[in-house]
Amino acid sequence: MAKPTGFLEFPREVGADRDVVARLRDWQSIHLHLPDERLQTQAARCMDCGIPFCHKGRILNRMTSGCPINNLIPEWNDLVYRGLWHEAYDRLTKTNNFPEFTGLVCPAPCEAACTLGISEPAVTIKSIEYAIIEKAYEEGWVTPNLPCKRTGKKVAVIGSGPAGLACADQLNLVGHEVTVYERADRIGGLLMYGIPNMKLEKTLVQRRIDLMAAAGVRFVPNTEIGRDMPAVHLRHEFDAIVLCTGATKPRDLPVPGRELQGIHFAMDFLGPNTKQLLETGDWRLKDAQSPFISAAGKDVIVIGGGDTGTDCVATALRHNCASLTQFEIMERPPDERLADNPWPQWPRVFKQDYGQEEATAVYGRDPREFNTLTKRFIGDEQGQVQAVETVQVRWESNGKGPKLVEIPGTEHIWPAQLVLLAMGFLGPEGGLLTQLSVDADERSNAKAAYGTFHTNVPGVFAAGDARRGQSLVVWAINEGRGAAREVDRWLMGETDLP
């Protein structure tokens, strides 16, 4: 363990984020980081807690608690405290292929499960994780994971998000020839086009992809399996197929006026924005033919919370929107944990993410309107959305679960020339499962048991959001690694993969 009395001596300290006003002028990372010596002090707060709940991921009360990829957190905290950064990097990469991603975008369920968190602020696990991998890059310790020999087996991975990349990285490590197919023009899936640059810089994503390519992974962008290439071709060319397409079908809002112009799914707003930024270094609309959606000068309504809604808020603010409001149908969380939400469950408490912090700095208030139900969209004669009508609701119990009840007299009209739907995702898109004759579950995801990841079709596996539904990046890495292990076992009869 680290210093035995560290948790008693040192308060929690995390790196500050950049000044809100300053960071709204660009698309660079919002994060600042502590120097090594202060991070070593933070690592000293890790306790000898007997059972480290932090590194065992599980679902408690429908929420993630602890680390789904079983990071050896107490071990690398101790090594960082003692200044043994290279050894800490070795321990970290035993379980995590991409610490630079989880160290930035993971909500840190490990910290929610930290034993110290029962009575004090938790250990800064996420900050230390990111510091370890960045030091490893700076020192040249991160090199391509070249296999010792090739097996002659060929595996196709469909989708290059965190599940697909983790699966490909592991399979390549044991010598299989891996080809990753991606429908977008750049590799990375959610990591490249689903998360804005200020939250996860795309240079970090490309850096990892370049390493994997140098290790022998073959990447094929601009290729949608099932449309640009029939899925049956993969059955003939490859010994195994892994479906890691994600759950990218967005949840719609079928209310009156939905057909109006100016109403878009969140990813149709976020993805092209990042593409425009990567190609031109500027988000602004260049010509009338550009598919890029601009929020500049518009009253913007974001419907839905969660990470995607927050990313829409932050992106619209950087466009210099005229106003911004975010609707959430759920109640405002309490400021403190309630009795039915004990440690080590994820704390359901009120907090502001980076987008809400920025909106508060600009408009002087949190942009969220809780207990708000959208009733209809109102347009002009040209078919362009101009306003949104809502009503306040409350949640009541009817003995069978919570029931939504509208509150009479609380109707309200909100001006809006741009509406962004960020209400989550329903499952994989398109007919890929049908082409491969893969069974779907009741939620339209690929049907494959967790732990085996094998679908009903021999040699076809599924992992990540395509199998489990919309979830966290860290769960995607967990499933990508698990699927790789089972593919290797199926191909070779045994496996050494963890």
Which pLDDT score, from 0 to 100, does residue 1 have? 62
Tokens 């079709």 locate to: 457
Residue 48 predicted with pLDDT over 90 = no
Instruction: Name 61's Cβ contacts closer than 8 Å, sequence gap at least 6.
Output: 341, 345, 346
- What's the confidence (pLDDT) of residue 407? 97
Name the more confident of 480 and 56. Answer: 480
Give the pLDDT mean for 30-59: 93
Say whether 24 sits in a helix, a strand or coil: coil
Q: Does residue 306 form part of some domain?
A: yes
- Same domain as 288, residue 369: yes
Backbone torsion region of residue 189, taken as left when φ is above 0, otherwise alpha when ψ lies between -120 and 50, otherwise beta: left
Q: Domain check: are 376 and 285 in the same one?
A: yes
Confidence band of 287 (pLDDT split at 50, 70, 90): very low
Helices (runs of H) and strands (runs of E) counted in the chain: 17, 18
C-alpha to C-alpha distance for 357 and 340, rounded to whole angstroms: 28
Residue 114 shares a structural domain with residue 172: no
Instruction: Give pLDDT tens digits for 149-205.
Output: 999 999 999 999 999 999 999 999 999 999 999 999 999 999 999 999 999 999 999
Give the residue-averaged pLDDT of 445-466. Answer: 97
CB of 338 closer than 8 Å to CB of 380? no
Say whether both 58 and 135 belong to one domain.
Answer: yes
Length of the chain: 498
**pLDDT tens, 52-89?**
999 889 999 999 999 999 999 999 999 999 999 999 99
Q: How far apart are CA 74 and CA 186, in angstroms?
A: 36
Continuous segment of H or E residues that includes residue 478: helix 473-492
| 32 neighbors 15 (Cβ within 8 angstroms) | yes
Is 144 within a domain?
Answer: no
Tokens coding 37: 């010596």
> What was the pLDDT predicted at 283?
56
Helix H or strand E encompassing 414: strand 412-415
Report the SS3 class of residue 65. Answer: strand
Would you say residue 147 lies in a domain? no
Query: Do residues 389 and 436 share a domain?
Result: no
Give the span between the Cα atoms of 464 and 446, in whole angstroms.
10
**Residues 318 and 362 placed together within one structural domain of the fold:** yes
The CATH number that applies at residue 294 is 3.50.50.60
pLDDT, averaged across the chain:
95
Token readout for 415 is: 């001006």
Asked if residue 20 belongs to a domain, the reply is yes
pLDDT band of 406, cuts 50, 70, 90: very high
Across the range 396-421, mean pLDDT stands at 93
Position 230 scores a pLDDT of 92
Kindly give, in sequence order, each residue whose CB lies less than 8 Å from that of residue 129, ignoring residues fewer than 6 positions away. Answer: 71, 76, 92, 96, 99, 102, 103
Q: How far is CA 293 from the centre of its chain?
A: 22
Residue for token digits 């790196």? Answer: 15
pLDDT > 50? residue 298: yes
Q: Say how many CA atoms lie within 13 Å of 406 toward its Cβ.
A: 10
At 291 the pLDDT is 67
Domain containing residue 206 = 154-248+426-492
Q: What is the CATH number of the domain that holds 105?
A: 1.10.1060.10
Instruction: Output the pTM of the full model.
Output: 0.95
CA dihedral of 3, 7, 8, 11, whole degrees rounded to 10: 120
Question: Nearest-CA neighbor of 52 among 77, 28, 34?
Answer: 77
453 and 388, same structural domain? no
Distance CA 344, CA 66 (A): 8
Q: How many CB atoms lie within 10 A of CB 415?
A: 16
Alpha-carbon span 193 to 191, nearest angstrom? 6
Structural contact between residues 303 and 421, judged by C-beta atoms closer than 8 angstroms = yes
Q: What confidence score (pLDDT) does residue 281 get?
A: 74
Check residue 288 and give its pLDDT.
Answer: 41
Which ranges constitute the DSSP H helices of 265-402? 266-280, 306-318, 354-363
Q: How far is CA 354 from CA 29, 66, 306, 327, in A?
A: 11, 23, 12, 17
381 is a domain residue: yes
Q: What is the pLDDT of residue 154?
A: 98
pLDDT band for position 397 (50/70/90)?
confident
Domain end call among 406, 423, 440: 423
* CA atoms of 98 and 474, how far apart (whole Å): 9
Per-residue HEC secondary structure of 107-127 comes to CCHHHHCCHHHHCCCCCCHHH
Among 109, 139, 169, the domain-final residue is 139
3-class SS of residue 378? strand
Q: Where among 85, 110, 139 does a domain terminate?
A: 139
pLDDT in tens, 200-243: 999 999 999 999 999 999 999 999 999 999 999 999 999 999 99
> Is 21 within a domain?
yes
Of 245, 247, 223, 243, nearest to 459 by C-alpha is: 243
Give the separation between CA 453 and CA 462, rounded to whole angstroms. 5
Strand segments (E) across 349-440: 368-369, 372-379, 385-397, 402-406, 412-415, 418-421, 425-427
Yes or no: say if 294 and 284 are a contact pair by the CB < 8 Å rule: yes
Q: What percent of the chain has pLDDT over 90?
A: 91
The reply to whether 87 and 135 lie within a common domain is yes
Going by C-beta distance under 8 Å and a sequence separation of 6 or more, which residues neighbour residue 317? 24, 324, 355, 358, 359, 362
Model pLDDT, residue 282:
66
* Bridge partner list, 404: 395
Q: How many domains does the chain have?
A: 3
* Percentage of residues of the chain with pLDDT beyond 70: 98
* Confidence category of residue 399, pLDDT binned at 50, 70, 90: confident
90: part of which helix (H) or strand (E)? helix 85-92
Q: What is the pLDDT of residues 317-367, one digit of tens each?
A: 999 999 999 999 999 999 999 999 999 999 999 999 999 999 999 999 999
CB 297 within 8 A of CB 322: yes
At residue 289, does pLDDT exceed 90?
no
Residue 497 or residue 429, greater confidence: 497
